Structure 1
């Protein structure tokens, strides 16, 4: 599964295999590189399954850096962590550290883990921080921390696993086609209406615009686009507001880290842009534009020829007794 510029699920590839193992994962990932995309710099989020890890370590499959960047699902990481340490407090600290966008806050949570359990810290430090911590990610995963999107799509194929193989493939084909058709139409209507960015990123930017009203902006260098932006303290007791952030418009950066992580401007960059009457659109990655959204869903599915019945009849499947073990075992 992938994710489009409107934060919607994008079905990328399906496969039927005899099981989830090293061979099947290696074959599947090789097929994606050969048949689906040769694009460099892809970010793949997964659990720690040995088959996936082996495939990413194989330089001949095309998934090693810089061809691709592997990231670990936070939910699976926390589950593995609990298997070793069985401490809910430590698990919560792990999740907080993983979700932090600022390195200093990440370090704060890691220090707390160290004070509670040195072995827990050592276990986490054995895994490269960029694999699981948002603050060290480098903007590869766009803030997506889990593999939930691939599991959520199972609802689209609900009940299909009980079908015979042919019906299973047909159902997948038709439901994915319907999925594309609806979103293609949405993209076309939004293009026609003159919208620039997807509703998802528009809502995020509008929320950040509201925050800018309480920011104080100080210009340091007009030519470099260097500013200090002071954010007022939030209403929550746990808020870290009141801090000053350095904004560099020329480098598209802010010390809060959010613009690089998510691909659209944080409230501090928006405040600096407003201060100098600069269009903030250049800070929005092209993936979030309506044109990119439409292009994502533009590919067409061709009807299957010589189909006499759809939906296919799915009745009792009679399997000869001597074949039953092979079917149930497969």
Structure 2
């Protein structure tokens, strides 16, 4: 909502009526159209009219798109591709390279898919011999419960 304005110099005071959910209370902002200024800072930062500038333009029946920077216009985008690009010659015709050779660093590569590799630093706890596995039935070393010789065999009748 435009509260005060100066039609000759196009300076306005715009009060917010809708909460923008940005954590700020509704405030009053000073808008100066000729110098492309708004107190919120978005108009200067993005070079695009903010809601306060659009309200001021609507109050004076101006087109807010006229204040849009040229960097957002399609003519500027098309002019980027208006230049000719030179053709790339076959590698046989390239001049010999005499500069420094740079190798890639494998440590900087993205990790591959799958289970991640452990990055734990081994300690003296890791040096202990693994415990010998014993059978769950007879507690002897060298076999397990599945192939235990002391296991009761199935009756054959």
Q: TM-score, normalised by structure 1?
A: 0.26
Report deviation, 1:296: 1.5
Name the structure 2 match of 1:222.
7
Q: Do structure 1's residue 250 and structure 2's residue 31 form an aligned pair? A: no
Q: Greater share of helix residues, 1 or 2?
A: 1
Name the structure 1 match of 2:46.
262
Aligned partner of residue 229 in structure 1, secondary structure: strand
Distance 1:292 1:268 in 2: 26
Name the structure 2 match of 1:240.
24
Q: How many residues align?
A: 97
The 8 Å contact of residues 233 and 240 in structure 1, kept in 2 or not, is answered as no
Q: TM-score, normalised by structure 2?
A: 0.53
Cα displacement string for residues 224-252 of structure 1 (whole angstroms, at most 9, x for unaligned residues): 1111111124264x631411101111221
Runs in 1 of length 4+ with deviation above 4 angstroms?
A: 326-329
* Structure 1 residues 288 and 235: alpha-carbon distance in aligned structure 2, compared to 1, 3 A threshold: closer
Name the structure 1 match of 2:65.
281
Alignment RMSD (CA, Å): 2.8
Distance 2:103 2:6 in 1: 70
Distance 1:258 1:327 in 2: 43
Report deviation, 1:299: 2.2
Higher RCO by CA contacts (8 Å cutoff, separation 6 or greater)? 1
The 8 Å contact of residues 253 and 259 in structure 1, kept in 2 or not, is answered as yes
Aligned partner of residue 274 in structure 1, secondary structure: helix
Distance 1:327 1:251 in 2: 50
The 8 Å contact of residues 217 and 272 in structure 1, kept in 2 or not, is answered as yes
* Structure 1 residues 300 and 217: alpha-carbon distance in aligned structure 2, compared to 1, 3 A threshold: same
Structure 1's unaligned 5+ residue stretches are: 1-215, 309-325
Distance 2:20 2:44 in 1: 26
Aligned partner of residue 45 in structure 2, secondary structure: helix
Name the structure 2 match of 1:156.
none
Counting only pairs closer than 5 Å after superposition, residues 105-184 of structure 1 correspond to structure 2 as none
